Structure 1
Amino acid sequence: MLLSLIKILVFVAAVAGLTWAAARLTDVTGGAEIAMAGYEVTLGPLQLVLAIALLALLGWLVFKALGLTLALVNFVNGDDTALSRWFSRSRERKGYKALGEGLIALASGEGDTAVAKGRRAERYLRRPEITSILVAQGAELTGDHKTAESAYRTLVQIDRTRFVGVRGLMRQRLAEGDTATAMALARKAFELKPRHVETQDTLLRLQAEAHDWSGARATLDAKRRSGALPRNVARRRDAVLALSEARDVMDDTLDIEAREKAIEANRLSPDLIPAAVLAARSYLAVGNTRYATRVIRKAWEAEPHPDLAQVFAEIAPEEDAQARLKRFSTLIKARADHPETRMLEAELLIAAEQFNEARRALGDLVDTDPTARVLTLMAAIERGRGADDAVVRGWLTRALTAPRGPQWVCENCHNVHPHWEPVCSNCHAFDTLGWTRPTESGTTLPRGTEMLPLIVGGGVGRAEPSVPALRDAAPTASPLPAHEAAAKAPEPANGKPVDEAEIVETDPSARPEKTEADAMAEGRK
């Protein structure tokens, strides 16, 4: 309000001043005479002032006209002028408007619109480092891989966006299944941004799939140094890579290099079961049983596993059942309550013909954890005790449909593998296999049916059972020699061995008087 009042007062004062000046000029006598080219012009005081003002205005207009002419000349020559800046601002407004609309279309899932707006923005802005990203992502959204590849190649040519272009091309090659080109692009992206986590993971996975273990270890070391991986996880994965490298070398020849890599893998991660197995066998290859025993014991203390027991048995393959039971006592005492330890002890006692002790070793596993292996051992125990054939058949019937127990399961896709591998064969994830129970009953089973001849009555030199279900009944390898256990197993009380065919016999006349349900009930007792 006060400002408006001041403006009004200033305006009134200006008008009053001009009026007073005009009145004073009117009262002044005399004037000015201007003679030019034979003409004379006489101007009064007021007319003189108006003429001066008019000349000043005319001079200003001439000056502006000259400036505009000069600007047009510079504009035609391509120089930076006010006119060119005006057109540039107009293009920028249109370009950024198109860019914003393209980003909105991209977020809305409208790939075609995003590509069109990106191209329009490029036409106005001429900034491919921005617009090409929009075009590439919009083209990927619509499945136009050719347009996306062209946009990524444009980004590769610009220093600021070279990594984005290489990464985009790498992802395209991965989608096409061209892993060789994808690995080369991943290496280039890794050189441009060594601390980029996704690039590190992609390169590591591709190198592992290609069995480039030395390159994968270098990538893993860079990942650890960048802080993207905890030290303990990096150490375990380094052990996995060293183990994989040792396995590949051993496929060709068991030389010093292979043994050193196997031992290094075990040193990096003593609880990695495959590394412990390979390291122990490397020591056994040179006759160093003491170090092999120490490696197995340390791994067994961390996690009992049937493969460890198998290698531990290989330390003294010619020993008798009693000597083996005594030597295995160190493993049994280390993790006495673990289910694997209890099953191992039961197998050893069965081989030593101590069937009652074998039943006590199993304890309550029959009720708390009735896996196929536990039930198969129960069938072996009942056979050793001289139980009826129907009792043995009852336990085997349960074993055929029982859970298989822990297996090598991928933590990422839950695929079951018969053996440990560094890379999942299903989802190609690296270091995701763990010895655990599958979420669902799988059909892929671990190796080994050495206990079956003992159960079904095979003698020395007998072939493996021909019934597929029986071959799968024992999910892990026993550390006992099959022929030795079979030779020591006593026959049933009736003196007739049980043949494989008898287990699946369906003729009622061939069955004993007890029903199968009664036999299974007796077996549970």
Structure 2
Amino acid sequence: MVRILFFILLVLALALGFAWLADRPGELSLIWQGQRIEMSLMRAATILISLFAAILIAVWLIRAIWLSPHTVTRYFRARKRDRGYQALSTGLIAAGGGDAVLARKMAGRARGLIRVDQEPLIHLLEAQTALIEGKYDEARKKFELMADDEETRELGLRGLYLEAKRLGANEAARQYAERAAEKAPHLSWATLATLDQRSQAGEWDEAIHLLDQSRAANVLDKKEASRKKAVLLTARATSKLEADPKAARDDALAALKFDDRLVPAALVAAKALFREDNLRKGASVLEKIWKQEPHPEVARLYVRARGGDSAVDRLKRARRLETLRGNNAVSLATVAEAALEARELALAREKAEAAVRLAPSESIFLLLADIEEADTGDEGRIRHWMAQALRSPRDPAWTADGVTSPTWLPVSPVSGRLDAFEWKAPPSPLAGYTEGGRLSPDDAIRSLPPVAPDQPAIVKAPPAATKPEEGQPVLEAERPIPTPAPIKVPERKEPAAPPAKSEETAAEKEAAAPFFGRPPDDPGVRERVAEEGSKASFRLF
């Protein structure tokens, strides 16, 4: 564009010059070697410009003839380079598609047409081809060559890192990732890999420092970086909880500022505050996280936060959680457990049945079995609830990479990935059976067998509480539960035998019908055998 504009300006200047000379005619006299030459000024200017153009054309022709060998050589070299790049492009596409034969063929052709020192992508094509063919040693050598080149250093380090991870050489992978993060801090894969490696080694301070650097360089997304910062602070707080509760409290509260829905951070903060006898603030932290996401561990710590509380006091605290988040299965189950400890069995049964209607799970059916044992002691009804527990969905647990953990962990023990554990239901090994054999909660409650009249109600007391050691922090969640004395329930009187009838009522037929489809073999359910006569006849078919 600039050249075109310059050419237009030059032509315009020449035209203006000739117009100016035409308006001002004159004569030009020249005496050279005794001869006098006279001509008009316009003619002299035309001859001068024509002579200048002829000189330029002559110079261009001489230069073209002189440089013609180099021009021909450069033409063929450019053509060869174009063919080489075409082969390189075809080879990379073939390697990406998994065609090892075509990729190897194109790699050889590209190497023959392009110099390797001029185009380092040939090393990449050969490395990818070797990986497809399973020649990992050759691929590793190519990645090392790329790592030594300044232009392809990051690409070579990433290839070496992936190969080290494939071989399980975690220390080598860590070194490659740290080297890449040091040379190019903007690489997100290097930052995340180094972060996972330092987290797996428990180097929380170094991991937090690296994460702060990546946040400043905008390597990670703001939301993702805040989540990882909260997880790292929670992990460091967990490691300091026993030795330095104050530092653990500060780290946990800082983690909640980055992610206010992180349940492990709230648990660590509350435990640290309870160890400092700051029950009000610790309970406030748990109530805040409970309003957002009811969690069984939060409920357990909240109910048993204060040492020395009776079962009735713990029930009051459980009812407080229910008021904060009502119509929730976890809230109802928490109240049911506390009511069972306080021996308010009617309330416990009511809340447990309401919880099982909202979200049936294994633990709630087992809780119903415990309530049944404490209330009636009927073995048949207890087995009924336990059978429903076997058929019900599994309870949520801390799960990562198919592995469950009883407590939250910052790093997955399988892959070493940071923030891998999630609170979710693990896959059930009886998923195919439970889908077809599980009853609905209402059907499970209605299908309860009647209480046997000859079976007395048995109330079992939990084990006696142990006295805590002196100097230990008062944390009810970590202490045995004090229990009251066993409750004696008078035995029920055996009703008189009913007179013989020829026809049974509908209620008696319903009571006599077994709830598992056949007469139960446990001693808790009375067997009713219909007597049709003194002689019983049996048919085989």
TM-score class, shorter-chain normalisation, is: 0.5 to 0.7
Equivalent residues of 1:262, 1:275 under 8 A apart? yes
Count residues with an aligned counterpart.
Answer: 404
Query: Is the aligned partner of 1:301 residue 2:314?
Result: no
Equivalent residues of 1:102, 1:114 under 8 A apart? yes
Query: Is the aligned partner of 1:178 residue 2:169?
Result: yes
| 1:174 counterpart letter in structure 2 | K
Relative to 1, partners in 2 of residues 1:261 and 1:67: Cα closer, same or farther, differing over 3 Å?
closer
Shift of 1:107: 4.0
| Matches of 2:227 and 2:430, distance apart in 1 | 27
Aligned residue in 2 for 1:257: 247
Query: Is the aligned partner of 1:139 residue 2:130?
Result: yes
| Matches of 2:248 and 2:369, distance apart in 1 | 42
| Matches of 1:486 and 1:394, distance apart in 2 | 28
Shift of 1:432: 3.2
| 3-state SS of paired residue (2:423) | strand
Relative to 1, partners in 2 of residues 1:205 and 1:385: Cα closer, same or farther, differing over 3 Å?
same
Deviation string 1:153-196 (CA, Å, 9 cap, x unpaired) is: 22122222111111111111111111112112112222333333
Aligned residue in 1 for 2:187: 196
Query: Is the aligned partner of 1:513 residue 2:532?
Result: no
Shift of 1:374: 1.5
Shift of 1:132: 1.0
Aligned residue in 1 for 2:421: 433
Equivalent residues of 1:347, 1:480 under 8 A apart? no
Aligned residue in 2 for 1:3: none
Equivalent residues of 1:207, 1:216 under 8 A apart? yes
Deviation string 1:217-245 (CA, Å, 9 cap, x unpaired) is: 33433444455644344323211111112
Question: 5 Å matches for 1:333-348?
Answer: 333-348=323-338
Equivalent residues of 2:340, 2:348 under 8 A apart? yes
Aligned residue in 2 for 1:114: 103
What residue ranges of structure 1 are gaps of 5+ in the alignment?
Answer: 1-62, 72-80, 444-453, 463-477, 496-505, 516-525
Query: Is the aligned partner of 1:103 residue 2:92?
Result: yes
**Equivalent position to 1:460, from 463, 475, 481:** 463
Question: 5 Å matches for 1:283-294?
Answer: 283-294=273-284
| Matches of 1:67 and 1:256, distance apart in 2 | 86
Relative to 1, partners in 2 of residues 1:381 and 1:145: Cα closer, same or farther, differing over 3 Å?
same
Relative to 1, partners in 2 of residues 1:285 and 1:195: Cα closer, same or farther, differing over 3 Å?
same
Deviation string 1:97-121 (CA, Å, 9 cap, x unpaired) is: 5424423532442325424532442
Shift of 1:371: 1.7
Shift of 1:335: 0.8
| Matches of 1:215 and 1:282, distance apart in 2 | 24
Equivalent residues of 2:380, 2:522 under 8 A apart? no
| Matches of 1:304 and 1:100, distance apart in 2 | 56
Question: 5 Å matches for 1:27-66?
Answer: none
| 2:320 counterpart letter in structure 1 | T
Aligned residue in 2 for 1:416: 404
Relative to 1, partners in 2 of residues 1:120 and 1:345: Cα closer, same or farther, differing over 3 Å?
same
Deviation string 1:328-348 (CA, Å, 9 cap, x unpaired) is: 333221112111110111111
| Matches of 1:509 and 1:314, distance apart in 2 | 37
Equivalent residues of 1:371, 1:404 under 8 A apart? yes
| Matches of 1:352 and 1:223, distance apart in 2 | 53
| Matches of 2:524 and 2:249, distance apart in 1 | 55
| Matches of 1:96 and 1:421, distance apart in 2 | 50
Relative to 1, partners in 2 of residues 1:131 and 1:353: Cα closer, same or farther, differing over 3 Å?
same
Relative to 1, partners in 2 of residues 1:186 and 1:491: Cα closer, same or farther, differing over 3 Å?
farther
| 3-state SS of paired residue (1:408) | strand
Shift of 1:135: 0.9
Question: 5 Å matches for 1:92-491?
Answer: 92-93=81-82, 95-126=84-115, 127-227=118-218, 229-250=220-241, 253-254=243-244, 256-386=246-376, 388-410=378-400, 413-441=401-429, 457=460, 459-460=462-463, 484=482, 487=485
What residue ranges of structure 2 are gaps of 5+ in the alignment?
Answer: 1-61, 432-456, 466-475, 494-518, 529-541
Deviation string 1:285-343 (CA, Å, 9 cap, x unpaired) is: 22222221111111211222221123224422221112222233332211121111101
Q: TM-score w.r.t. structure 1 length?
A: 0.67
Deviation string 1:368-405 (CA, Å, 9 cap, x unpaired) is: 43322222222233333335332223223322443232
Relative to 1, partners in 2 of residues 1:492 and 1:295: Cα closer, same or farther, differing over 3 Å?
farther
| Matches of 1:480 and 1:182, distance apart in 2 | 41
Shift of 1:441: 5.0
RMSD, aligned CA: 3.7
| Matches of 1:424 and 1:123, distance apart in 2 | 48
Deviation string 1:191-212 (CA, Å, 9 cap, x unpaired) is: 3333333333333333322223
Q: TM-score w.r.t. structure 2 length?
A: 0.65
| 3-state SS of paired residue (2:152) | helix
Equivalent residues of 1:348, 1:480 under 8 A apart? no
